Amino acid sequence: MAETWDEEQLIADGFERAHVELEWYDGPRAGLADIGGKPHYFQSYHYALADEADEYSVWPASKAAVKWEREQWAIFARWNQRYLAGTVALESHPGEVGVDARYDELDLLLAPHRQAPDTAQRLVGELRFDAGARYRVDGLDYWFRWRPSR
C-alpha cells in the first residue's frame, strides 16, 4: 500500500487534486486534475517503469468539459461503489457501450476535449495519495505536484 498524507499536508506541500481518471496503467496515464488551481487534462507523455515522477502533456479544460467530466465520473464512481458491494456485475460497467445512455452521450461530447492540442504544455507530475476511498464521486485518492519538464 502506498504511503498516504492528510489533505492539509498535501496542500501545504503544493499538491493539487485529481478529479477524474481516464486511464490508469501502473499509475495515472490520463485524466483531469488541478494545475495552478484550475482543471486541466493530463495525458502521459511516455510510459516508463520507474519510481520517478511521470511527464504529462497538460492543457486547460473548458467549463463545459469539466462539468461533463465530473458528471461522467460520478456515474462511474457510483457504479464502482455498487460493484465493490457486490450488488452489480462487471458487465454493467457504464463504460460498456449501450449500458448507460448518458455515459455514452458524454463520451461523444468529451471526445474532442480529451485530445491534446498543439499548445499543450509538458509538465512532470509527482504523485501522492490521501487516505480516502480510491474512487469517490468528488474525485480520486491521488494528488499531483506539478513542475516544468527539464
Write the pLDDT tens digit of every residue in 59-78.
Answer: 999 999 999 999 999 999 99
Neighbours of 45 (CB within 10 A): 19
Query: Is the predicted pLDDT of residue 48 greater than 80, yes or no?
Result: no
- pLDDT, position 130: 96
Going from N- to C-terminal start, the domains of the chain cover 4-148
Backbone angles phi, psi at 15, to 5 degrees: -85, 150
pLDDT, tens only, 29-39:
999 999 999 99
What distance, in Å, lies between the first and last C-alpha atoms of the chain?
30
Rounded to the nearest angstrom, the gap between the alpha carbon of residue 110 and the centroid of all alpha carbons in its chain is 14
E-state strands within 45-133 = 54-60, 121-130
Grouping H, G, I as helix, E, B as strand and the rest as coil, residue 106 is helix
How sure is the predictor about 49, in pLDDT bands with cuts at 50, 70 and 90? low
- In eight-state DSSP terms, residue 12 is H
pTM (predicted TM-score): 0.93
Tens digits of residue pLDDT in 105-130: 999 999 999 999 999 999 999 999 99
Nearest-angstrom CA–CA distance, 96 and 92? 7
Task: Decide if 18 contacts 140 (C-beta within 8 A).
Answer: yes
